[in-house]
Amino acid sequence: MTDSSQVKIQKDESPAHVKGKKRDRSASEERLIQAGLEIFAKNGFNGATTKMIAKKADVNESLIGRYFDGKEGLLLAIIEKFLEQVIQDELPYPPQNSLAAELENYVRFRVNQGCMHEDFARIVFSQCLVDRKFKKKARETIPLLIDPKLIDRVQMLADKGRLKEGTNVMEICEHLDTFLDGIFFFDHILHEESPEVTGDKAARFVKTYSRLFDK
């Protein structure tokens, strides 16, 4: 091996070169995720192709298989990205002085948030219903996390003595999360209720539910 070839290898393996490759991959992954979100929402899972997604992202089609193990893996990555964003988004209203007010504001926020991504939600729901392998992978790779912002808000009320003694904060948040998933899927998506009607219905429910815990 010549001195010049040794120098070339050293340059190719330098930290800066490796860092640049990682940065390029990260940028390509981000473009594919954004393109996938748009193409899936427009064409559905079965109607979307890796060729369409790669063209939209302006990257080589083979990168979808290399980075995400195919179209299914890309959809799972998009779901993870979406859930991360949901967790990071700040609540658009200040802490409330009662559980009823806190939960009413929260459910209206969540319903509106869900409606903004309704097309994508339909794809995920339908794919889980018709593809058991996808549903299994989704369970294995996507954590079922309760919104930590909601937990903090309800815990804040408990710490201030606004809730009845013995109130289980996590249980309230779990109940609410399950309720919101159900009302969004059945009432809004299946029965095509407007966001306003679904939000009002959710608000009425949490007002009644909160009486069990508000002082």
- What are the boundaries of each domain within the chain? 1-86, 89-215
CATH class of 1-86: mainly alpha
pLDDT of residue 8: 47
pLDDT in tens, the chain (215 residues): 555 445 444 445 566 555 566 678 889 999 999 999 999 988 989 999 999 999 999 999 999 999 999 999 999 999 888 888 877 889 999 999 999 999 999 999 999 988 888 887 888 888 888 899 888 888 887 777 789 999 999 999 999 999 999 999 999 999 999 999 999 999 998 899 999 999 999 999 999 999 999 99
For the chain, the distance separating the N- and C-terminal CA atoms, rounded to the nearest angstrom, is 80
Contact 135, 128 (CB under 8 A): yes
* C-alpha to C-alpha distance for 210 and 98, rounded to whole angstroms: 9
- Tokens 């992202």 -> residue: 57
* C-alpha to C-alpha distance for 67 and 32, rounded to whole angstroms: 10
Task: For the domain made up of 89-215, give the CATH fold.
Answer: Tetracycline Repressor; domain 2 (1.10.357)
- Tokens 């549903």 -> residue: 135
